[in-house]
Amino acid sequence: MRSRGAALLLVITAIAILTAISVDLAYESRVSIEAAAGARDELRATYLAKSAVGFSRLVLHFQQQLGQASAAVGQLGQVAQASGLPAQLAQQLQGTLGGGAGGGTLSIRLWELVPVDSSMTSLFLSRGARSAAAPPREGAAAAAGTARGFGDFEGSFHARIEDEDRKINLPQFNGLGALPAAQLQRFLQLVKDPKYDFLFDQDDANGIRVNRNDTAAAIKDWVDEDEVSSAVTGNPLTPFEQGFSDENAVYDRLPDRYKAKNARFDSLEELFLVAGISDAFMAAFADRLTVYPDVNGQVNVNTDDPMQILTNLLVMSDPPGVLQGPLLDPGFPQRFQAALAQLKPLPFLSVSPQQFATVAQALGVKIQAVYLQAQNSDNRAVFSDHSSTFHIHATGRAGGVQKTIDAVVTLDTRAGALAQDLGRVLHWSEE
């Protein structure tokens, strides 16, 4: 009897041990499978996000081709007018080809018109979006685009393109001509609201307080070549002047001392190293600042943002920076945008700086003569009607994994031979 009991106990113990081992093996196998599936979905999501970047660069390539074609037909219209054709016929030809009431070129913002989304692939591939009949999703899922089949899996991608040339180009604080004054004025208009006083009137964690003008001077000192501090003058012709102190003095007071870079920014995140730039500052203003366009690049005058419209008008006004009576009217931006809409039959077309200035003058704003010229070669003109640097925010989603890519692409002279292709990548960040 005892031997049977001992044998039964041995069998039960063996079964318990084998059960524990089996459960542990099953758990480890399940974890390994889930980890492999997660890595697989992460790889898929990454390449879907890269696909969104690729589609975006293709759209920007076509944007450049349209711009070149528009300039060519605009010149053809001008040649026709100068060739002795009847005035009415030549004017009609120039307006038809050149696009315009102001004699400018037909500038289509294709990147605003064409959606970069995984649903686009149904135009090129045989399998349509599987979730096309599903109700629209909200939040982060919606930002990833419409799910569709890619081979043996479902995924989605989406991209949003931002015009960097509309933003405040901080490296131009150390630029030439009228660019430093214009960008400084745009910057000070951005930060002047009293609700942002707490960013400039309080000591930071290191006991350092930097006001608005000093923050602008610190940005200029970060990119200029000397080691002498700068100061804001208030003079539109010479917006900055050299001081008499060391520009690195403020950084010598930090626990981990360093020096100003005295070279261009590599990324927008580098701004955190500049005196006066904090997390709160970037949360408030980062979406309106840029460091990527060319240091001699012009500002795209086309924008739907009322604040940017008023700032551009302040730069154009005569004298610059003076808030004239019409601009004090809260309803002025709406009237101005309505007047601009009369110049273009479709909302995604662009207006020239001359058209922009002419409309403002018609509404009672005194504008500098340099901006009212149809053909402007004056180096004091800081505005343009096209852009060459763009920020691509791409998202890819596969399974339960979402990957994002931030890329900045330029199609200006820095792109070199790639200007005829997909442009040059200035910044790339994956999360």
Q: What is the structure's pLDDT at 377?
A: 55
Phi-psi region of 30 (alpha: psi -120 to 50; beta: other; left: phi over 0): alpha
Q: Find how far residue 283's CA is from the centre of its chain.
A: 15
Radius of gyration for the alpha carbons in the chain, expressed in angstroms and rounded: 29
Collapsed DSSP state (helix, strand, coil) of residue 168? strand
Q: What is the pLDDT of residue 380?
A: 61
> Can you give the pLDDT at residue 121?
64
pLDDT by position in tens, the chain (length 431): 667 777 788 888 888 888 888 888 888 888 888 888 889 999 999 999 999 999 999 999 988 888 777 666 555 444 444 545 454 444 444 444 444 444 445 577 888 888 888 877 666 554 444 444 334 444 444 456 677 777 788 899 999 999 999 999 999 999 888 889 999 999 999 999 999 999 998 887 778 889 999 999 999 999 999 899 999 998 877 899 988 889 999 999 888 999 999 999 999 999 999 999 999 999 999 999 999 999 888 899 988 888 888 889 988 998 888 888 888 888 898 899 889 888 887 777 888 899 999 999 999 999 988 888 876 555 567 898 889 999 999 999 998 899 999 999 998 888 877 766 788 999 999 98
The 10 Å Cβ neighbour count of residue 288 is 17
DSSP secondary structure of 173-225: GG-STTHHHHHHHHHHHHH-SGGGHHHHSS--TTS----HHHHHHHHHHHHSS
Main-chain phi, psi angles of 85, to 5 degrees: -65, 155
| pLDDT of amino acid 222 | 95
User: Which residue matches tokens 């040339």?
Assistant: 165
pLDDT in the model for residue 123? 60
pLDDT at 1: 64
Enclosing H/E stretch for 231: strand 228-232
Per-residue model confidence (pLDDT) at position 98: 44
Closest CA to 296 of 166, 164, 423, 171: 171
